[in-house]
Structure 1
């Protein structure tokens, strides 16, 4: 696990560096994606209007009005639960929660993007195909830009950053300490990036703040390519794996989804308000709106697992797990990357 009480924590990893002397480019899907990535580069310093005035409280109220919901609706939904520690909250607490909720969410986006930066640099080092090395190099630049914009927005507009939460920490540590390069793809390109696409889309749909809306629009365009990169690469590789090896990938994917379900609760946010995050997760699991909100976050991951053949491989083990937590209904949903992958 990464130490959050250190400025520069380290992980002990064992990973092979793979060269290739085959420079022929025969993977058309990856070649097209590489060309798109080169054409779609943008400069965070000049493409975004950083002079935009951002008032977090005003934005929280406007976002709630746009959604047709009360300010701090996520917390209000829990306030009515039996024995809720939020029962005594008033409008002031719900507004402060809404402001801090956005800061906490954007903070985890930031830490996740740094994780993606490190993971993608590892793919350049380890993936065996030259087309994948080419594309991964463009993603390294993308991820550096994403870290840059989220760090700057949090610092200049929201006045600070929450630390990396334990669930995202655990998943990043699992991905980065696994010696199999395809697990880096599966954990980062499919699970984390897939979740990010859903979360970014949800935030962009609700925000009325122009700088954040533009920032998310640019980042989402990059993220769609990143997910497509994972799908195109893993589809080919997984065709050659044994049933036991596929089962290991199914189990890894399930564990990753469990980590991300806990991460979606933003425990560091609730702890700051003196509320037990375990109570929040348990209550959300039993609350209809909470279940639907959590499920929506996985709307991109489930269909991508299906594209990779992981849902029904073997005895359909992963399908059963996704059914248990109520997200299997997304299996045929739009992932937002079909035009990039052709599948």
Structure 2
């Protein structure tokens, strides 16, 4: 994603300035989050989508910062719920400062994001944002309630990741496009490009939970499964007649040992689960490309093709 380094630097600087507080602990926690890396994919997509229309740099950097701060807030709250110690190889806010402070950090980021949104979004844009945030919350609750549920289906999973991840991708391209004056077909294709890319992105994340290099991903192999979050590779394993019975026996007990995690990971890799999951992720990527082909040629479209190429081979 080096193609967008200049934009990322500008974005990080703006977020730091916008989030400055009189409370040192907030400044430290937020600085840790911003300096902790991250792809900045959602704000990058806002910026690219806006480039198809009447581009206003000041407005777009604020909207891009808003979407990233909103995303960061959800990550901070996720880490509290999951009692996560590390994210991207760095100590989480809840582990470093405690859960109470981490709640305030997440709330502060959310408030700061909404200041940017309220100052820059049209009424329709704000309504779309609010609806998306509501659905994201419902998706997170669904994931929490489905923990250790070995009866979860592929359909359940796809519905969950659509709300949990893909909708924010779609919102990013939608807001960039709509707030830059785009309507009708262009708006439709940019929104759906973001949505389909988001589905593919989450499936790839869930594949990397089993196949990724811990140094690159910043998380242990099988971490989601250990937390009771059964993602697509595990669901595919549960549907595989050759492994179904043994997988059920291990997954229904819930409280996993290191040996259990290694055994399930081994079965996921030996079975066709990874290939099935990868094929499904590629299907969503193909749909994203279909929408991309309907956009006008030029640098913005080339940038989106660059993201497609990166997504198809990313390792973290």
TM-score, normalised by the number of residues in structure 2: 0.32
Return the structure number with greater helix share.
2
Structure 1 length-normalised TM: 0.30
